[in-house]
Structure formats: structure tokens, C-alpha cells
Amino acid sequence: MTRIGLISDVHANLPALEAVLDALSKRGVERIVCCGDLVDYAPWPIEVISRLQTMDVLCVQGNHDAAAAGIFPIDGFAEEARATVDWTRAILSSNETRFLAGLEQTHTEENFVMVHGSLRGPLWEYVRDPFVAGESLALLSRPLGFFGHSHIQGGFMRVSGQVKGIDPQKELHILPDGKYLVNPGSVGQPRDGDPRAAYAVIDFDHDRNLARVTFERVSYDIAAVMRAIDRAGLPHWLAQRLEVGR
């Protein structure tokens, strides 16, 4: 049995990340993987990068990571998001910029494939409906695909030819003949109405070629992060979103 912690969309929110890492440690995970967007929105991009590097967390590149590294256009970003990219670029060192630029967009292992957006568009495409999910599921070469970007915990699965949503309120058992796209939700800025930091735990039973996914949340000091966002001069709208999880 192997237990993996799955996280995504930290968005430079160090207190939320620390709460999740502590929760994963208590769950006894052997490894942590991250579906991208380490930076932007909150004021700790340097600390988040350092913490994930120290923990040897496997990360793929998100659109905000690529934008902060200067290798992804920000024309399509909202005005507030463009402001945070500029702020982040200004404080990152060349080493941190190179780290973000060098992250893989798609990572494949024996049991899973991992991207930020979708298998069809790793950096940008959102998987928020069964049709788009079906396009990625058709490209999925492993039973499990991990993704983020939407900041919404859950995902989609194809079982017996049908594509349907995954309920994050329930434990998910991976069937041998199914294909699954699992979104752990956002550590640093959830958008599913629950402001607590989101993550998932994957248990692989290699002997029986089965897996189990549990979706989890953990509380942290949101008010302190809101104050830090304001002190840094980042758009107040980003602080307001944290409070309501939208």
C-alpha cells in the first residue's frame, strides 16, 4: 500500500499550505504531488516554493507559474491577476524563476498522469463539465489523472462508458475498468464555497491494482492571510475571495 497526498493551486498562501502539510503528515503520506499554480494571489511565493522544494514535492507547471516565469502570456488574465503576476515577478529571484520555468507541464507515472489544466491543454483549459472531461478522459493513458486549475474539489470519471461527476463528499473507489480525473481542490484559494484549504489522499493497493481517494479540508487562519494580502498591496478582491471560498 502506498499513500500519496495530492494538492493543487497553492497560490502563494503559505499558512494554508502549512495546514495541509501538517494534516498530510498526520495521515502518514509517503509522498506529496502538486498539480501546479504554486504562486500568485497571496504574498508568500518565495516561501511556498522553498517549502515545496524542501519537502521534495513533485510539482507540474500551472499557468500562473508559467506567467510568473515570463513564459506564458497574461493577456487573458483578469486585471487583478495581471497585477499579482507583476508583483510576483518583481520579488522572485532568478533561481526561483528558473525553477518555475523548468517544471513539467505533464507528468506520467505507472499509476497516474498529472497536469494543471487538462490533458488537452495542460496550462490553460478548465475541466468543469462532462464534455470537456470526456475529451481528457479519452487521452488518459492511466487509470487516474490528477488536475487542478478550477479550484473545485471533485472531478470526473468514466465508468461503463458514461462520464459523470465525482462527489467529493464521498470516498472514491477506483474500479479497474474505469478512468478517473481527480481534482483535490485548491490549497490556497478554494472556489467551491468552502473556504477551508482543500486536498486529497490517494491509497494505492499495488497487490490488487486498486486505489481509494478521499477528499479532505483543513481550517487555517484566513483572516491573517487577508490582512497580509492587504499589507502587500495586492488587490483586496483576492482577500475577499478567501473569506467566502469563491
Q: Is residue 181 part of a domain?
A: no
pLDDT in tens, 148-166: 999 999 999 998 889 999 9
Confidence band for 136, pLDDT divided at 50, 70 and 90 = very high
Rounded to an integer, what distance in angstroms lies between the CA atom of residue 45 and that of residue 60? 16
- Per-residue pLDDT tens digits for 50-100: 999 999 999 999 999 999 999 988 887 888 788 899 999 999 999 999 999
The answer to the question of residue 176 being in a domain is no
Q: Identify whether 207 is part of a domain.
A: yes
Average pLDDT over residues 196-220: 88
CATH of the domain at 136: 3.60.21.10
Task: Write out the three cell numbers for 35.
Answer: 498539480
User: How many residues in total does the chain contain?
Assistant: 246
- pLDDT for 206 equals 61
Residue 208 reports pLDDT greater than 60: no
Question: Number of structural domains, the chain?
Answer: 1
Q: Is residue 1 part of a domain?
A: no
Is the per-residue pLDDT at 127 higher than 90? yes
The rounded mean pLDDT for the chain is 94
Hey, CA dihedral for 166, 153, 79, 117, is it positive or negative? negative
Report yes or no on 179 lying in a domain. no
Instruction: Give the start-end residues of each E strand in the chain.
Output: 2-7, 31-34, 58-59, 107-108, 112-114, 144-146, 154-159, 162-165, 172-174, 179-183, 197-205, 210-218
* pLDDT reading at 176 higher than 90: no
Q: What is the pLDDT of residues 20-52, one digit of tens each?
A: 999 999 999 999 999 999 999 999 999 999 999
Mean pLDDT over 182-197 rounds to 97
Does position 207 have pLDDT exceeding 70, yes or no?
A: no
**Residue 40, domain member (yes or no):** yes
236 in any annotated domain: yes
Reported confidence tier of residue 116, pLDDT bands at 50, 70, 90: very high
Domain that holds residue 156: 7-171+189-244
Position 78 scores a pLDDT of: 81
